Structure 1
């Protein structure tokens, strides 16, 4: 059984979802890019999701978002379903599109974590050895200068979406917003911090390539690879899938966040034990989502107001 996760309105997350068996199904073709931006814009608008960063690689995607309404699971379910259905049509693909593992959801607790994870998201094609500069990647992505000032646009894909259904608008726009914890007056400094770390990733990737005497794959070859092939690079098994991130060296924030996660899980399990024993008046801790939505349990939302 997976660990319970608190779904709290206003929380910001790094989200990662991988393609089944690391096939290149999300290869950066114009049709795939259009599909992803359109479905992301529609799903984010429907569920109150603010998007701060995006990078779609051929085998996985990264998003940094804020869940303003506490509807993250609904958003993920719809967005990933629409991408999968559209991809199956575009690629003539039978079977699942996404890896069977759950989406990686990392709560970004501090500003340092926001800067580090947004920079990691934007620099992902460079870190993977595909291009030398993040802006060269041809897939769906966000650039540093677009954070808080830009937007992505896509017309409704010609496949799957019924043009006569009002839930699928002809055009969809996706504003790229600042994280709510970053003030507008601080936007330029925030972007400079992100750009600095992106540049660090780029320098490190070039140095690694030079040391190992390897070339970057390049845009042409990345776009020409068969979507039915699979990545062959070695991925470490049993990697940790963290619940939250606080940034490097933030020991106090690490301890605070760890304590909060443990307290939620203990309270949740205690309430669940009472509920399973037939105590339908059991009150679950703030952030409980599944039991509230599917079983209508009472949740102590007063904890959020007091926090």
Structure 2
């Protein structure tokens, strides 16, 4: 059984989900890029999700969002379903699209965490040895200069989405916003910080490729690989799925956040034991989602302090 996780209204997350067995189902051709951007725009608008950054890799998706209303599970369910059904139609794919691991949702607590994880999202194609610079990636992505002022826009794909259904507009768009902790008058400074960190991560990735004697695949060849293939590089199984990130140099914040998560899990388990014993008046911690939404459980007023 997975650990209970708080769903916090207004929190910013790095979201990651992988394709089944690392198949290259999301190869960055035009049809797949259109599908991912359209599905994200429709889903984010439906659930009030603010989108900050995106990079759609061939085997997985990275998105940085803020969950304004505390409905992240609903958004993920809806968005991942649209991507899966659209992918099955585009690729003529039988069976599951997504891997069996749960979506990774890492709460970004500090500015340092925002800078590092947004940069990590943008730099992913470089770190994977696919392109030399993030801006060369041919798939769905956000550039540093678009943070807080760009727009993701796509026409309705020709597959799966019924043109007669008003839920699927002909054009879908979502404005890229700054994380709520970044003020508008601080936007340029924030973009420079992300740009500097992105440059550092790109340089590290290029140096690692040079040491190994490897060459970058390049944007043209990336789009020529069969989506039925699987990534061949070694990747260990994910043994640890973090709940939050604080960035480098914030050990004090990490200790506080760890204590808060432990307190949430302890309170949740104690309430769940009472619930299973038939005590329907058991009070769950405020950030409880599943028990509140699907079972009508009572939650407390106190919020998770991070």
Which TM-score band applies after superposition, normalised by the shorter structure?
A: over 0.9
Distance 1:35 1:212 in 2: 35
CA gap of 1:176–1:238, structure 2 versus 1, over 3 A, is: closer
Distance 2:180 2:305 in 1: 19
Q: Which residue does the alignment assign to 1:155?
A: 155
Q: Which residue does the alignment assign to 1:108?
A: 108
Residues 154-303 of structure 1 aligned to structure 2 (within 5 Å): 154-300=154-300, 302-303=301-302
* Per-residue CA distance 1:123-147 (angstroms, 9 max, x = gap): 1001111111100000000001101
* Per-residue CA distance 1:247-276 (angstroms, 9 max, x = gap): 112110000000000000000111111111
SS at match of 1:172: strand
Q: Which residue does the alignment assign to 1:132?
A: 132
Distance 1:240 1:292 in 2: 26
Q: Which runs of 4+ in 1 moved over 4 A?
A: none
Residues 5-16 of structure 1 aligned to structure 2 (within 5 Å): 5-16=5-16
SS at match of 1:303: coil
Distance 2:270 2:237 in 1: 33
Contact 2:113 2:247 in 1 (8 A): yes
Shift of 1:239: 3.6
Shift of 1:304: 3.0
Shift of 1:306: 9.0
SS at match of 2:302: helix
Distance 2:140 2:154 in 1: 11
Distance 2:237 2:86 in 1: 30
Distance 2:298 2:253 in 1: 30
Shift of 1:203: 1.1
Unaligned runs of 5+ in 2: none
TM-score normalised by structure 1 residue count: 0.98
Distance 1:269 1:49 in 2: 29
CA gap of 1:85–1:71, structure 2 versus 1, over 3 A, is: same
Residues 92-107 of structure 1 aligned to structure 2 (within 5 Å): 92-107=92-107
SS at match of 1:39: helix
Q: CA RMSD in A?
A: 1.2
* Per-residue CA distance 1:34-89 (angstroms, 9 max, x = gap): 00000000000111111101000000010110000100000000000000000000
